[in-house]
Amino acid sequence: MRVQVPLEKAYRLINHGPATLVTSKADGRANVMAAAWVSPLDSALVSAVISNDSLTREFIERSGEFALSLPTVGLVDAVYRSGSLSGRDGDKFAAAGLATFPASKVAAPLIEGCVGWLECRLRDESRAREKYDLLIADVVAAWADATVYRDGQWRFEGQPDKRTLHHVSKGVFLASGEVVEASTD
């Protein structure tokens, strides 16, 4: 069950540093790629490094929009394929075996089977974009799978296939592990 995440808590979805799938759409054509270098900048503001030679970057600059979907252990093969193929060679959703559903505020589709989604609108920060391939974007809507995200926190206990992924190197990830709480005395 997907539930809306309030924008003032949108950063919570990616606070733990998960790998993401970036979707984009321009002139009726959508694309997807894997991206690990994504970070919150504020409650409803994110940064993402997207190479300037990628089709995704071209689609984002043309549309001013993109979306982040947070893939799971169960999608690891699809994530790898999204990261190693190019959308210039054909429909990457089909090649990676990824199904989509419509976003609420952006044209880029969201990816089925993921556990978190951030709909993003690009800011015009040309220096960061041109010098560092760093895109800065407002989160305009956020969603989570309520079976693993409750009360503003990830809760993966008992659902190992729904754990998010953390990128190590080509095709290798660490799953999100168990909760560790500090003594707050």
Contact 78, 71 (CB under 8 A): yes
Nearer to a second copy, 94 or 180 (CB): 180
For the segment 51-70, give every residue that binds a second copy (CB under 8 A): none
Write the binding mask 14 to 33 for a second copy: x where contact by CB under 8 A, - elsewhere.
-xxxx---------------
Q: Which two tokens stand for residue 38?
A: 């994504």
Nearer to a second copy, 89 or 151 (CB): 151
Nearer to a second copy, 49 or 95 (CB): 49
Rule CB under 8 A: is residue 97 a binding residue for a second copy? no
Rule CB under 8 A: is residue 183 a binding residue for a second copy? yes
DSSP assignment letter at 74: G
Contact 21, 87 (CB under 8 A): no
Segment holding 59, helix H or strand E: helix 55-63
Nearer to a second copy, 63 or 175 (CB): 175
> Bridge partners of 68?
22, 118
Rule CB under 8 A: is residue 10 a binding residue for a second copy? no
Which residue type does 127 have? Answer: R
Per-position DSSP letters for 83-124, written without gaps between them: HHS-GGGS-HHHHHT--EE--SSSSS-EETT-SEEEEEEE--
Nearer to a second copy, 103 or 118 (CB): 118
> In which residue are the tokens 């991206």 written?
35
Q: How far is the CB of 27 from a second copy (least distance, A)?
A: 30
Rule CB under 8 A: is residue 45 a binding residue for a second copy? yes
Compute the distance between CA of residue 20 and CA of residue 140 in angstroms, rounded to an integer.
17
Interface positions with a second copy (CB under 8 A): 12, 15-18, 36-42, 45, 47, 49, 73, 76-77, 79-81, 84, 125, 127-128, 132-134, 136, 152-154, 156, 163, 165-184
